[in-house]
């Protein structure tokens, strides 16, 4: 085989000397070099590939305690990181939800204040003495005569003014 490779090299040199005299294109030269390399690579016989069935079922993997310890540490670190991340995400979304609830309750309080203001205005309009008097006259009612009104506490409705030595407070009877 060595003689064949040497003779192939000699032939190639001889062939290149011949072609050096004439102008050869780069593509032709590359094609010739490729063919020469392929011929040397193969040798005298064509290449054949055979499939081989390999049975690895009887192989047993050796236990590596160092690798197992590293994987356990990595798994624990990953789980701790995951738990911390989930706690942060839970707190973040809880804070957002509480913010929405606070805003909704603020709107509800403002709406109730507006309703209360409307009701107070309506009460003031309905309890106007002039309005009540006009409605009573439209219904044919007159002012009550003295003694016509009976109070549930048993009084006759008259109130006497009393004078005391100290100034009167609106909170004392």
Q: What is the pLDDT of residues 6-54, one digit of tens each?
A: 455 555 555 555 555 456 788 898 888 878 777 666 566 666 667 888 8
> Does the pLDDT value for residue 170 go beyond 70?
no
Rounded to two decimals, what is the model's pTM? 0.40
Looking at every residue in the chain, the average pLDDT score rounds to: 80
Render the burial of 140-173: b for 16+ CB within 10 Å, e for the rest: eeeeeeeeeeeeeeeeeeeeeeeeeeeeeeeeee
Top-confidence residue, 54 or 108? 108
Query: Tokens in use for 55?
Result: 């049975």
């Amino acid at each position: 085989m060595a003689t064949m490779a040497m003779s192939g090299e000699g032939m190639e040199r001889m062939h290149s000397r011949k072609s050096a005299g004439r102008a050869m294109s780069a593509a032709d030269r590359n094609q010739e070099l490729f063919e020469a390399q392929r011929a040397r690579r193969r040798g005298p016989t064509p290449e054949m590939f055979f499939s081989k069935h390999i049975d690895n079922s009887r192989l047993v993997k050796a236990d590596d305690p160092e690798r197992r310890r590293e994987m356990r540490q990595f798994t624990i670190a990953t789980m701790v990181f995951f738990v911390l991340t989930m706690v942060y995400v839970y707190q973040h979304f809880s804070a957002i939800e509480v913010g929405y609830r606070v805003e909704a309750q603020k709107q509800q309080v403002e709406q109730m204040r507006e309703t209360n203001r409307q009701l107070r205005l309506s009460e003031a309009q309905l309890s106007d003495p002039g309005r009540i008097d006009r409605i009573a006259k439209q219904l044919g009612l007159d002012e009550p005569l003295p003694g016509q009104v009976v109070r549930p506490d048993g009084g006759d409705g008259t109130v006497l003014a009393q004078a005391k030595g100290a100034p009167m407070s609106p909170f004392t009877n």
